[in-house]
Amino acid sequence: MTALAVHHLTVEYRRHGGGRLRAVDDLSFELEPGETLALVGESGSGKSTVVRALSRFVKPQQGRIELDGGRNPHEYRRRLQLVFQDPFASLNPMHTVRHHVARPLKRHRRAQGRQDLETRILDLLTSVNLTPADEVARKYPHELSGGQRQRVAIARALATEPRVLLADEPVSMLDVSIRLEILNLLDRLKRERDLALLYVTHDLATARHFAKDIMVLYRGEVVERGPSDAVILDPAHPYTRILADAAPDPQARRGAPTTASRALPRPAERREASLDTGCKFRARCPFAMAKCAEHPPALPVGGDPRHTARCWLLAPE
């Protein structure tokens, strides 16, 4: 049973100088309970806009979002929770850890009376390895490390017993040494609680390790998607190949980016004007051809219908 289904989501922002920027373009996907889907792409590709639309902070121009059991807005907020990038900004410096975790428990009536509330707070803190929980509960954010704050943010998200968890670059602001601990924690909680997890990241190595499937976003559009190993080890879209070549994955790819990816124009240099139609990547693409002025459909890669890429190179003659 699908926990969250997104159909043809399109989100536009007003540009400063007038006109509109399409930050998410016709995006469809599903999240399954107990599984992680990674949304990867470089900065500005629209990842956080997807999260904002799913959490109803921005209103989509088009599309439909269906959350299992979440028709009513209060229930939607209960069933879909977030973990943000910045553990320093996401906690209120004026309040204790207890307060942060108690709030969603009270708001969504997850506790029966004072004693039950206290038990639940301590259980949640213990489940994210913040122990001794009663000591941690009395602390203020400034008394915690970045990793501990992110654990509080995770405990708070779990308080409402969500079905879907959206984690937007949850470790990119943490010390490298504790990133894996936090990702392992999310992975364990996902399994224990049968959560549907959307893992937003620009890091292909952890996407491959923690997610069952990967979607690669380029300028608001999914250019490639499929089982994680297939997308990372056998990328079909030229953009995914560049990302994979640049990724510091010690297992799969060693050393510096390839000559091909170094020779490519950087995002700032790309010509945008003529890209209203056709493949959005073609100004940066080493394989661009005349056909690329037409918008490519999602085509199967290597005979696997679960692995698709939006590239004319995959089209039979």
Instruction: State the residues that interact with ligand ADP by CB under 6 A.
Output: 13, 21, 23, 41, 43-49
> CA 41, CA 220: separation in Å to the nearest integer?
9
Q: What is the nearest approach in angstroms of Mg ion to the Cβ of residue 157?
A: 18
Between 9 and 102, CB nearer to Mg ion: 9
Cβ proximity of 233 and 225 under 8 Å? no
Between 48 and 308, CB nearer to Mg ion: 48
> CA 135, CA 98: separation in Å to the nearest integer?
10
Which of Mg ion, ligand ADP, none lies near 81, with the C-beta cut-off 5 to 8 A by kind?
none
> CA 85, CA 43: separation in Å to the nearest integer?
13
> CA 94, CA 265: separation in Å to the nearest integer?
46
Q: What is the nearest approach in angstroms of ligand ADP to the Cβ of residue 122?
A: 35
Which of Mg ion, ligand ADP, none lies near 23, with the C-beta cut-off 5 to 8 A by kind?
ligand ADP
Which of ligand ADP, Mg ion, none lies near 286, with the C-beta cut-off 5 to 8 A by kind?
none
Between 45 and 150, CB nearer to ligand ADP: 45
Please give the order of strands across the beta sheet that includes 20-31: 20-31, 4-14, 62-67
Distances (CA, A) of 96 to 46, 114, 263: 33, 17, 51
Between 120 and 202, CB nearer to ligand ADP: 202
Which of Mg ion, ligand ADP, none lies near 156, with the C-beta cut-off 5 to 8 A by kind?
none
Q: What is the nearest approach in angstroms of ligand ADP to the Cβ of residue 270?
A: 12
Between 148 and 240, CB nearer to ligand ADP: 240
Q: What is the nearest approach in angstroms of ligand ADP to the Cβ of residue 67?
A: 20
- Collapsing DSSP to helix, strand or coil, 28 comes out as strand
Q: What is the nearest approach in angstroms of ligand ADP to the Cβ of residue 185?
A: 23
Q: What is the nearest approach in angstroms of ligand ADP to the Cβ of residue 102?
A: 31
Which of Mg ion, ligand ADP, none lies near 240, with the C-beta cut-off 5 to 8 A by kind?
none
Cα dihedral 265→26→40→282 (10° resolution): -20
Between 43 and 177, CB nearer to ligand ADP: 43
Cβ proximity of 223 and 310 under 8 Å? yes
Please give the order of strands across the beta sheet that includes 221-227: 80-83, 164-168, 196-201, 36-40, 213-218, 221-227, 304-310, 298-301
Site for Mg ion, rule CB under 5 A: 47-48
State the angle between helix axes of 113-127 and 146-158 in degrees (0 to 180), rounded to the nearest 10. 130
Cβ proximity of 291 and 312 under 8 Å? yes
Which of Mg ion, ligand ADP, none lies near 21, with the C-beta cut-off 5 to 8 A by kind?
ligand ADP
Q: What is the nearest approach in angstroms of ligand ADP to the Cβ of residue 40?
A: 9
